[in-house]
A = this chain, B = another copy of it.
């Protein structure tokens, strides 16, 4: 993701966080604060999926932990609401899995997949992830109240 991409990411980032269904980000982030949170430095990175100059979605990826945990990666995804149902999440997910393989990670861990986010849970399961466990009532969903957060995992070997 370049600095020029962010003005196209921020509107759907903000809309997704404000909707309160999928991400535990601090409320009332400014665009600049959000950009800093979403932009991963090496050995991680942040990418966008673009069609005809229009950014449809974005993903961050990199080590889930430093030091003795750095061989397991993690990632986060955001897709513009007007691009849903077009396979953007799947393409970003497939890219992220391949990137982790190429970088030599041994596995990918998602730390907090909201259990009511059916589209995400189904997509990650379709890509081979399984649910390691679910932390009960760990997310305060705007529509559903307190719901669980899945830890999901894909080995890469």
Q: Which residues of A contact B (CB under 8 A)?
A: 17, 20, 23-27, 64-72, 106-107, 109, 111-112, 131-142, 146, 149, 151, 153, 155
CB distance from A107 to the nearest CB of B (A): 7
Number of identical protomers: 2
Interface of chain A, helix or strand or loop or mixed? strand
Query: A20 to B137, Cβ gap below 8 A?
Result: no
B153–A136 touching, CB < 8 Å: yes
A70 engages B24 (CB within 8 Å): yes
- Selected from B67, B71, B134, B146, the residue in CB contact (under 8 A) with A25 is B67
Is there an interface contact between A67 and B109, defined as CB atoms closer than 8 Å?
A: no
8 contacts between A and B (CB under 8 A): A24-B70, A25-B67, A65-B138, A69-B140, A72-B137, A107-B135, A132-B134, A136-B153
